[in-house]
A and B are shown apart, each in its own frame.
Chain A
Amino acid sequence: MEKLIEVNGLHKHFGNLIAVDGIDLDVRRGEVLGFLGPNGAGKSTTMKMITGFLAPSAGSISVCGHDVLSDPIAAKTNIGYLPEGAPAYGEMTPGSFLDFIADIRGFSSGEKLNAIARAVERINLQSVLHQPIETLSKGFKRRVGLAQAILHDPEVLILDEPTDGLDPNQKHEVRSLIKDMAAEKAIVISTHILEEVDTVCSRAIIVANGRLLFSGTTSDLAAHSRYYNAVTLSVAAAESASAGRALGDIDGVADIEIAKTDAEYVRMTVIPTDKASIAGAIHHCIREHDWQIGELFVEPGRLDEVFRAITVEAHTPGEEART
């Protein structure tokens, strides 16, 4: 698949502050890249450079073969961008706002009506089309920003926290929308929500302190978790002590964590050595002892734990010197 975004050796300094410190990445058509990182990691700054808002201190960015620095207009024509916080002109209505964006993007009057109708339908904006944007709820404002970004059916979509501030239903809608568009575009989304990476992204990268710390598929990311392939089970409280001992004796079990205790059950997580599969062995052990089991499942790996492990490591010494 062709590379639609290519970023090489990207740096951005603000005075003494190094916001982005040598990031390389490329995104191909059909990919949804999840951009993860703690606040202030350089996610938004990187997105601002890819979309041509900020000029990098060093490095090159190319979008659909157009260099963002030397040919910004051509690059911007191919990008749909939702900036952080979905800014829009508050006194305008979504209808007039989209009309303005279409005019700037150079639509003829016939295409314009079609494009606006298509975006409005896709994003479900019909009900607020003639209401000033400043009077809309946060969810609708975000959707106006999304409609603006997809209006010209761009090859590349850059969405900075597209689901921030949305309720669970709206989040679901936005995620389905991203999935619908994924096949024919290159999409980059930044997010704090790790489950989002799991549901919509085909690949994830983690940045902290301006550096790229991880790049891979979400299952690669999950495989970094110490809980990957661990088995969580709830055993009747009366049997829990003996169960703990028996499980600990199984070959390939590294550790057992007691997660939650209540009157009836004790929930414990059995962690394998080297992330090997131990589900079979545990199943066997349970049948052998005939414990009373409340729940039993294999952990897919905990993304939040991987995220914390990767980004907190990056906060070790040296950080003060760089800020």
Chain B
Amino acid sequence: MSRTMTIFKRELGAYFATPVAYVFIVIFLLLTGAFAFYVGGLYERGQADLEPFFRFHPWLYMLLIPAISMRLWSEERKTGTLELLMTLPISLVEAVIGKYLAAWCFTAIALGLTFPMWLTVNYLGDPDNTVIAAAYLGSLLLAGACLAIGSCISALTKNQVVAFVISFIICFAFNLSGFPLVLDLFDAWAPQAIVDVIASFSFLTHFESILKGVIDIRDIVFFATLISFWLYANVLAIEAKKSS
């Protein structure tokens, strides 16, 4: 556990040692704000809630999270530090979890910095703060799921751009899997049960129910399972690819 924490600290420090962290945070705050006010109509709706703010998170994460996750393992492979890391007395699982948690913690920091949004609605009106807290939790889980996907993909390539694009596509597919764009592909030939399963993988469906303030254990389990699955695949990907 302490070794996981060591990896975690180094990784988190690495974000802030380069301009990546600051660029990401500024872009993230600008975009979440812009979408909430100009597209979501947070102000014009006249309702004291943050729904227009959170509603765009799946779409923003789809683009921004791969930008954080792309360097997680591909950079280690490219610079050869993977060999250094894997010959230290640490297990691969500890390393994967440590690096993943650092990336997640970093997105939590970025998300946390949107607190003026929360202060604003509380100043302007009387929102249901438990709903907002639930939405923050949901948003964090969603970010965690995208990160687990991105982390796994970055272990498969030495090229960060490739990692970015593929992670983006997979997150996009998960966002849309409840939509006709994806479902129509399966509707024609797959049994209804399979179509339902695919639809149930949609980030949007699970995220939206949390957004309404309903923390259903099934949604939590969905995200937890998804994260575990992708991190497990991440471990396998590193094992398979480390010699190349």
Inter-subunit contact A52/B87 (CB<8 Å): yes
Q: How far is the CB of B157 from chain A (nearest CB, A)?
A: 18
Chain A 102-124 per-residue mask, 1 if CB under 8 angstroms from chain B, else 0: 01111000000000000000000
Q: How far is the CB of A155 from chain B (nearest CB, A)?
A: 13
Inter-subunit contact B86/A52 (CB<8 Å): yes
Within 8 Å CB of B84, what residues of A? Answer: 81, 83, 87-88, 148
Asked if A58 lies at the interface with its beta carbon under 8 angstroms from chain B, I say: no
Q: How far, in whole Å, are A85 and B80 apart by their CA atoms in the complex?
A: 8
Asked if A79 lies at the interface with its beta carbon under 8 angstroms from chain B, I say: yes
Inter-subunit contact A100/B79 (CB<8 Å): no
Q: How far, in whole Å, are A106 and B18 apart by their CA atoms in the complex?
A: 27
Decide: A76 near B17, CB < 8 A? Known: A54-B243, A100-B10, A104-B6.
Answer: no
Q: Which single residue of chain B is at the shortest CB-CB distance from A160?
A: B83
Within 8 Å CB of A88, what residues of B? Answer: 81, 84
Q: How far is the CB of A108 from chain B (nearest CB, A)?
A: 11
Inter-subunit contact A76/B79 (CB<8 Å): no
Inter-subunit contact A104/B80 (CB<8 Å): no
Q: Taking each of B3, B18, B86, which has the highest tally of chain A beta carbons within 10 Å of its own beta carbon?
A: B86
Asked if A257 lies at the interface with its beta carbon under 8 angstroms from chain B, I say: no
Which residues of chain A in 16-61 are interfacial with respect to chain B, using CB atoms and an 8 Å cutoff?
Answer: 48, 51-54
> Of A89-97, A188-196, A212-220, which stretch is located at the interface?
A89-97
Q: How far, in whole Å, are A321 and B90 apart by their CA atoms in the complex?
A: 39
Inter-subunit contact B88/A101 (CB<8 Å): yes
Which residues of chain B in 42-97 are interfacial with respect to chain A, using CB atoms and an 8 Å cutoff?
Answer: 79-81, 83-84, 86-91
Q: How far is the CB of B102 from chain A (nearest CB, A)?
A: 13
Q: How far, in whole Å, are A54 and B87 apart by their CA atoms in the complex?
A: 9
Size band of the interface chain A makes with B = 20 to 34
Q: Which single residue of chain A is at the shortest CB-CB distance from B86?
A: A53
Asked if A277 lies at the interface with its beta carbon under 8 angstroms from chain B, I say: no
Within 8 Å CB of A53, what residues of B? Answer: 83, 86-87, 242
Inter-subunit contact A89/B88 (CB<8 Å): no
Within 8 Å CB of A132, what residues of B? Answer: 17
Q: How far, in whole Å, are A89 and B84 apart by their CA atoms in the complex?
A: 10
Inter-subunit contact B6/A100 (CB<8 Å): yes
Within 8 Å CB of B81, what residues of A? Answer: 87-89
Inter-subunit contact A91/B18 (CB<8 Å): yes
Asked if A77 lies at the interface with its beta carbon under 8 angstroms from chain B, I say: yes
Interface size on B, residues (CB 8 A): 23
Asked if A309 lies at the interface with its beta carbon under 8 angstroms from chain B, I say: no
Inter-subunit contact A106/B80 (CB<8 Å): no
Decide: A54 near B90, CB < 8 A? Known: A87-B81, A87-B83, A88-B81.
Answer: no
Asked if B30 lies at the interface with its beta carbon under 8 angstroms from chain A, I say: no
Within 8 Å CB of A96, what residues of B? Answer: 13
Inter-subunit contact A104/B88 (CB<8 Å): yes
Q: How far, in whole Å, are A271 and B89 apart by their CA atoms in the complex?
A: 53
Within 8 Å CB of B7, what residues of A? Answer: 104
Inter-subunit contact A51/B87 (CB<8 Å): yes
Which residues of chain B in 128-187 are interfacial with respect to chain A, using CB atoms and an 8 Å cutoff?
Answer: none
Q: Which of these, B2, B9, B89, contacts A76 with CB under 8 Å? A: B89
Q: Which of these, A85, A89, A104, contacts B3 with CB under 8 Å? A: A104
Asked if A258 lies at the interface with its beta carbon under 8 angstroms from chain B, I say: no
Within 8 Å CB of B124, what residues of A? Answer: none
Within 8 Å CB of B113, what residues of A? Answer: none
Asked if B31 lies at the interface with its beta carbon under 8 angstroms from chain A, I say: no
Q: How far is the CB of A235 from chain B (nearest CB, A)?
A: 53
Asked if B14 lies at the interface with its beta carbon under 8 angstroms from chain A, I say: yes
Asked if A276 lies at the interface with its beta carbon under 8 angstroms from chain B, I say: no
Inter-subunit contact A48/B2 (CB<8 Å): no
Within 8 Å CB of A103, what residues of B? Answer: 2-3, 6, 9
Within 8 Å CB of B17, what residues of A? Answer: 91-92, 132
Q: Which single residue of chain A is at the shortest CB-CB distance from B78?
A: A87
Within 8 Å CB of A238, what residues of B? Answer: none
Q: How far is the CB of A80 from chain B (nearest CB, A)?
A: 9
Inter-subunit contact B10/A77 (CB<8 Å): no
- B residues bordering A, Cβ < 8 Å? 2-3, 6-7, 9-10, 13-14, 17-18, 79-81, 83-84, 86-91, 242-243
- A residues bordering B, Cβ < 8 Å? 14, 48, 51-54, 73-74, 76-77, 79, 81, 83-85, 87-92, 96, 100-101, 103-106, 132, 148
In the complex, given contacts A88-B84, A105-B88, A105-B89, what are 5 additional A-B residue pairs having Cβ atoms less than 8 angstroms apart?
A48-B83, A74-B89, A76-B87, A81-B87, A148-B84
Closest 9 CB pairs of A and B: A87-B80, A103-B6, A91-B17, A76-B89, A51-B87, A83-B83, A77-B89, A87-B81, A73-B89
